[in-house]
Amino acid sequence: MTIDITTPALLFPAISLLLLAYTNRFLAVAQVIRALAGRLAESEDLDVRRQVNNLRLRIRLIKWMQGAGIISILLCMVSMVCLFVDQEYWARFAFVISLALMIFSLLISFWETLLSGEALKYELHRCERLQRLHRLQRKSDKS
């Protein structure tokens, strides 16, 4: 099978959109970390600590997702250059590695998505605990 210049070029829009989505995830996680920083300084809440650990791992994963995506787009360009200079073997090689990195990036993205659900679980647990405390305080105030 031969590939032409349009084959690696097909990945450009997908990779660009993925990198934008990954950057948005990074910014959202950074915002949550900044919000939690104050809360962590105020208390030693176990759920807040769990969230911080979860966020630390998510930041690392997002960096890996972004890195794999960036290298994937670079290898797409290398593949195109190789096609320009009639080096189809190397173009295929670069393109296959690019696809593998994109798959790797997407798998990490899936893992990070699962972790974001865990962070929400910790926050909901903390909110429920605070709600129970407020109910108990209201009952004791009425007595």
**What's the distance, Cα to Cα, between the start and end of the chain in Å?**
82
DSSP string, 69-97: HHHHHHHHHHHHHHHHTT-HHHHHHHHHH
Range 87-99 average pLDDT? 93
- CB count, 10 Å around CB of 50? 17
With CA atoms as reference, report the closest residue to 11 among 97, 135, 133: 97
pTM: 0.76
Would you say residue 64 has pLDDT above 90? yes
Confidence of residue 86 (pLDDT cuts 50, 70, 90): very high
Confidence of residue 82 (pLDDT cuts 50, 70, 90): very high
For residue 97 the two structure tokens come to 């590695």
With CA atoms as reference, report the closest residue to 125 among 46, 54, 30: 46
pLDDT, tens only, 99-136: 999 999 999 999 998 888 887 787 788 788 888 888 88
- CB count, 10 Å around CB of 101? 21
Confidence of residue 81 (pLDDT cuts 50, 70, 90): very high
Question: Where in the chain are the domains?
Answer: 6-142
pLDDT, tens only, 36-50: 777 666 667 777 777
Confidence of residue 143 (pLDDT cuts 50, 70, 90): low
- Cα–Cα distance measured from residue 73 to residue 102, given in angstroms and rounded to the nearest whole number: 9
Would you say residue 93 has pLDDT above 90? yes
Percent of the chain with pLDDT over 70: 95
Residue of 106 and 14 predicted with greater confidence: 106
